[in-house]
Homo-oligomer: A and B are copies of this chain.
Amino acid sequence: MDLSARTAEQIGEAIRRARKARGWTQGDISARTNLRVATISSLENGDAGTKLSTLLAVMAALGLEFRLVERGGAVEIEDIF
């Protein structure tokens, strides 16, 4: 499962995959974040207008975190040890 993303669409898709990998519905995320199901839907569908707070809340509910990496950069050995 590739979770790299540089567009809102890719982020939304990654969120959706992570959610389904846990067997959760948008309603489950909604209950855990107090965000409306419509908001989760909008995020997963790649709305770039989504607020950072919304994305972070959903990611926290999914147990995810960001890693900011160089575009096209290989994984650095420092990232491992």
Contact = CB atoms under 8 A, between A and B. Distances in A.
Interface of A: 3-8, 11, 14-15, 18, 47-53, 55-56, 59-60, 63-71, 75, 79-80
Contacts of A68: 3-5, 11, 14-15, 18, 59, 64-67
Count of chain copies: 2
Q: Classify the interface of chain A: helix, strand, loop or mixed.
A: mixed
Nearest to A63: B71
Contacts of A75: 75, 79-80
Contacts of A7: 56
Given A6-B60, A66-B69, 10 more contacts: A6-B66, A11-B68, A15-B68, A48-B53, A51-B51, A52-B55, A64-B69, A64-B70, A65-B71, A75-B79
